[in-house]
Structure 1
Amino acid sequence: MKRIYIFCSLLLTLLFSSCKDYDDSAIQDKLNDFKERIAALQEKADKLNEEVSKLSYLTGGNVITSVTQNSDGQYIITYKDSNNEEKAVVVATREDVIEIPVLGVRLDDKDQLYYWTTTIGSETDWLKDNAGKKVPVCGYTPEMGVNADGYWTVDGEILKDNQGNPITATTDETSIFKNITKTKDGYLEITLGNGEKFTLEVFNSLNLKLKSDAVTSVSDPSQPLKIEYEVTGASAENAIVAIAQAVNVKATLDKETRTLTVTFENGFDEGHVIVTAYDLHHLVIRPLLFKKN
């Protein structure tokens, strides 16, 4: 028994000595480097989220009234929203984008609405919700992030490539906006980081104000929804207001009372109406989305 006691004492002494002498600085350095990398990536995600928000402003049916450039080379884009309130966003662009951004927008030729897209590698596809449907820009802005393992996330979900592998975020520079130019015809041409381009009109003589949110929750589809509208600007008197499209809903305009009436059929889940105001030179497009509450 005495021998066993001596042996245990020697073993404990060796263990405590080993723990005391062990240098864990290398592991701590790696942990600190990893934490710093995640923090840097999260800061990058925050900047991208700012740009995504600006992109949603520009493609959400707002009327761009002016485009100027400040001393830092950034573009100041002034626009009027659906409430006819004038606002401005500052857009920073980069001529050379090292890493392709994972979010963008694209106009759907079928319904003429902008939808969010994701770019993975060299392929761009629609951003889908949990039901597998495209996500419209109007009224919704996805949130980018980086999880604790250093992978890109969109709305908290890990973004994966075509093979189902999570996409690793890097500290390379990236930008939603690559370039902004003004065409000879006075249009604003925006080139996204993935190379896609879209064109927006710049004018301030006409605007269409709809007294409704861009996305409206419908609690009782059996009741029609009445939305007042107003046409403003120097060309307002000669402008024509019309319904360009109504999907999964019925819509009528009363031009005397300046009211849009939307009715919902049985089994309604979601739909949209596109209202336009136009004259010979200008066209304002206002999309309205409706979802069953």
Structure 2
Amino acid sequence: MMKKLFVICSWALLLGGCKSESGASDPDGDKPVPPPSAELLQKIEDLNAGLVSLKTLAGAVSQSEVRSLAETEDGVRLTFCDGTEVTVACNAAAEAPLIGIAVDGDAYYWTLAAEKDIPWLKDAAGAKMPVSGPVPVVGRDDKGFWTVTTDAAVTPWQIGDGSGNPVEATGDEQVELFRSVKAGNGRVEIALTDGGTLSAAQVNDLSVAGTANCYVVSAPGTYVFNARVRGNGAGEGVGFEPAIEMADGMTADWLWTDSEGLVSGVALDTTSGDIFLTVGEGRGNALVALMQDGKVVWSWHVWVTDAPQTMTYGNGTVFMDRNLGAAGTTAGGTDAYGMYYQWGRKDPFYGGEKTETSANAFLEAKNGTVVNPAYPALDWAFSKSATTTDGAAANPMTFYNDKVGTGYNWLASPNATLWGEAKTLNDPCPPGYRVPETGAWEDLISGRQYIDGVSVWDGTNYGMTYTHGGQTAWYPAQGYRNYSSGAIVGLRSSTGGSGAYWSAETSSVKSYYLFFRSKLSSSGSINNELDMNRSYGYTVRCCKE
């Protein structure tokens, strides 16, 4: 028994059974029927192509979730998680449909929706035609009327309107199937020309704009990203193959989060190589990992914050308005504190609101985060040793440091290409952003001093404000994690604290960074030409690629 009608093939034909004065008056009339125009032939082709797309869409919405939507010249392209792609052309003024589909039991069947009682479209054997089977083909007969056939072996018959009269193919018909496509609240709503709606769950694709080691999430919902690529997959000599091959025993899970329930439902689709996750209410950070037999293969930073804004500095560099990992931008507020990074590593180290001693290094991290108990070998830790790039990736919560040559490093064999002028697969910034070069801050500085009206030390809020073009950027003096212990130092001290921001540039064995505070004795108050051991944990302010 038919349960519910979903007329979704909204061909937008201008119906009603009216007869054209210049066309055929009835099937047996003897008036000459002009050949179909090129425009009409194109519309017939578009209608049949639309039916094929409709079949694909009907199957996709019942079996998969929408992964992404994109505006194209031909309409809205919907990409589903199972790989299906359908492009729909929308027309808000389209008229009522001619042919549609309806549900009978648990399956969709083609119907002649123009008929009063919605009769089923039948195949050569007289059986109802499931939408999952052959697609009806429309055309125009030699008398100038619309026809339909359900099988290559079946002679086409004329399509009748609600009164049983044949429908003339005039060339004035509209061919769009859909009125609009809208996304919101975790669903995609497809408005049809007959007033009905198709609805599909939406999974937001974080990697649709490109893969990276960090993804920004600004609203609760279900998300997915491509786990088959390390970072952005670019850069040579960084110690990793760009591609990740899916293998038996692989799973996905969260490793830590700074807010209970911020990230949940983490799962790996081993067929597609996608990681799915659900983000709840709140703002904060989490680390999600691809695991194999309980060990980390690669991990990604999920940064839950309001969509970062950008500001163009005086030299043309476009910066984010906040530190990487910051929940906000409040001057003097701890929400503006971001994560700490050892130079060249992709994984964030939790910050905190207080300084630490060597004896209680990572106390802020242990008190401020929830660590997944399913992986007891993974926890916030300091290791007085150097490691490999593989070792660092497998232990993203361990802060490494050792004497390496003439400097201190987390990496046993120093590598100056882990970050660079061109973004690499080890860069910690989200898609479209990278770690800046030192020159990006050149217009903040005049001979190692602040510039009046441009860069100003704020002794009340402990940080620096940069002003250009009527906009301001806030740089908190967040301190850093000391290379020798991993402890947070330089944060809101009696001298006002200090700021330390990594650049992508390197010296022989060290790396350059932006350093500022209220006053530096021999080095001035602000300096972007200092270099320091790569095992320090400094903050990062990402700039546009």
TM-score (norm 2): 0.28
Greater RCO structure (CA 8 Å; 6+ sep): 1
Q: By percentage of residues, which structure has more strand?
A: 1
Q: Which structure: larger Rg?
A: 2
TM-score (norm 1): 0.50
